[in-house]
Amino acid sequence: MPEINYIAILVCAIVSMIIGGIWYGPLFSKMWMEGMGWNPNDQALMAKMKKAAGPAYAQQFIGSLLIFFGLAMSMWAFTTADPTLVGVSAGLQGGFWTWLTFMVPVKYGDKLWGGKSFKFVSIDLGYYLVTLLIGGVILALWR
């Protein structure tokens, strides 16, 4: 059975939520909303989003736990197969390859089939790249 640090997974999920709050808040909120086809100045929409925020954040947190559990499992397999792969390098590689092979194809499908603009997809992909790189480093260093 893989040796997994569940506290590190929890920390990764919390960090990803903090990054998401900044990423989809002050950094890219208007561009992201426009990419969704929403008007950021629509007060009724904003009120509806605020009302739904609690359950949405809870569900996203569960999703984040699953993502980082999967990353931890992948990194365990990585480092078991190559014991020389350790530390920050292992975390960055684990995060990058997870992003490239799982997130990029899935999120690019939003552009191909969901009609989302490349700018919109890029905002999401950037978020996942940053969180997976940071999460990979946390998981690699906190074994």
The pLDDT tens digits for 46-73 are 777 778 778 889 999 999 999 999 999 9
Domains contained in the chain, number: 1
- pLDDT higher than 90, residue 38: no
Return d(Cα 48, Cα 121) in angstroms, integer: 23
- Cβ atoms of 20 and 60 within 8 Å: the answer is yes
Residue 29, domain member (yes or no): yes
For the record, the structure tokens of 61 come out as: 């947190």
Residue 37, domain member (yes or no): yes
Global confidence as pTM: 0.89
- Cβ atoms of 77 and 98 within 8 Å: the answer is no
What are the φ/ψ torsions at residue 72 (nearest 5 degrees)? -60, -40
Residue 1, domain member (yes or no): no
The pLDDT value given to residue 24: 92
- 73 is in which domain, residue-wise? 6-141
pLDDT band at residue 120 using 50, 70 and 90 as cut-offs: confident
